[in-house]
Structure 1
Amino acid sequence: MAGKIRLSLLVATLLAVLVAACAGPVTPLADASSESPAPTASGLPTMLYTHCGIKELQVDDTFFLAETPLDDGQGNPPPGWGNPYQAGTVTVSGSKAVFRDDNGHIFTFLARPGATGFLNICS
């Protein structure tokens, strides 16, 4: 049962990213905040969208902004990261989401309370 739920969450996240990639900019633009939304996930499999660098993440209805955005200087993921996605797991605790993968990447994101979409939609 837990496997089916995780697979459903993974598929829903992937679909949300694919739909968002075709959309225009969204509002409101909210800054990352230390306000604490309720914890929503622990060690769930995810596909982090990396095509324009490591900048944003969505878990359930919460949008997160990278604590320190990362790219190759030209808007692509840095060497060692998949493109357009990097498989891994995400753990959410309060206003932080931590992405981990089998390559040893550990990346922290901060919640954007009230956000309804990604800040940057790239193609």
Structure 2
Amino acid sequence: MTERAGTIIFALTLAAGVLTGCSQADEGADAARATPSVRTIPINLYTHCGIGEAHIGSTYYEAETPLTDGNGNPPEGWDNPFQHGTMTLKTETEAVFTDDAGHEVKFRARPGASGFKRICS
């Protein structure tokens, strides 16, 4: 084999390895986008008119089971106008609010929403 042929074979082998590595990295990136990692963020949940909606980043969420005292206020045991806690973003469409008082509220994303369903006064 000539030196030039050896150089060409080495270059092709190296290129094949680089291309395979890129393909595997791209597959991993696709998997990461398809299954986002769970993350928890601090939040002051607006509770003034009850617990019904939340806005995180560019996503609007609504409570699976809205909570009020029946008169448009948060239920007993909730702070007003905000309840400090954390929101755990479990998937792209599911979030869970929890706080030190033991409250837990599940929220679902409203795809395509650009605002709250109801503005509290």
TM-score, with structure 2 as normaliser: 0.67
Answer yes or no: is the 8 Å Cα contact 1:55–1:70 preserved in 2. yes
Correspondence for 2:102: 104
Correspondence for 2:118: 120
Moved segments of 4+, more than 2 Å: 37-41
CA distance in 2, matches of 1:38, 1:54: 28
Q: Which structure has the larger Rg?
A: 2
Judged with a 3 Å threshold, the aligned counterparts in structure 2 of structure 1 residues 40 and 62 are, in CA distance, closer, same or farther, namely farther
Q: 1:73 aligns with which of 47, 70, 75?
A: 70
RMSD of aligned alpha carbons: 1.8
What secondary structure does 2:60 align onto? Answer: strand
What secondary structure does 1:122 align onto? Answer: coil
Q: Which has the higher contact order (CA 8 A, sep 6+)?
A: 1
CA distance in 2, matches of 1:86, 1:38: 29
- Greater fraction of residues in helix: 2
What secondary structure does 1:43 align onto? Answer: strand
C-alpha deviation, 1:42, in angstroms: 1.6
What secondary structure does 1:119 align onto? Answer: coil
C-alpha deviation, 1:41, in angstroms: 6.6
CA distance in 1, matches of 2:98, 2:60: 17
Are positions 1:44 and 2:69 aligned together? no
C-alpha deviation, 1:40, in angstroms: 8.0
What secondary structure does 2:80 align onto? Answer: coil
Answer yes or no: is the 8 Å Cα contact 1:40–1:60 preserved in 2. no
User: Gapped runs of 5+ residues in structure 1?
Assistant: 1-36
C-alpha deviation, 1:122, in angstroms: 0.9
Task: Tell me the number of residue pairs that the alignment of Structure 1 and Structure 2 aligns.
Answer: 87
The one-letter code of the counterpart of 1:109 is F
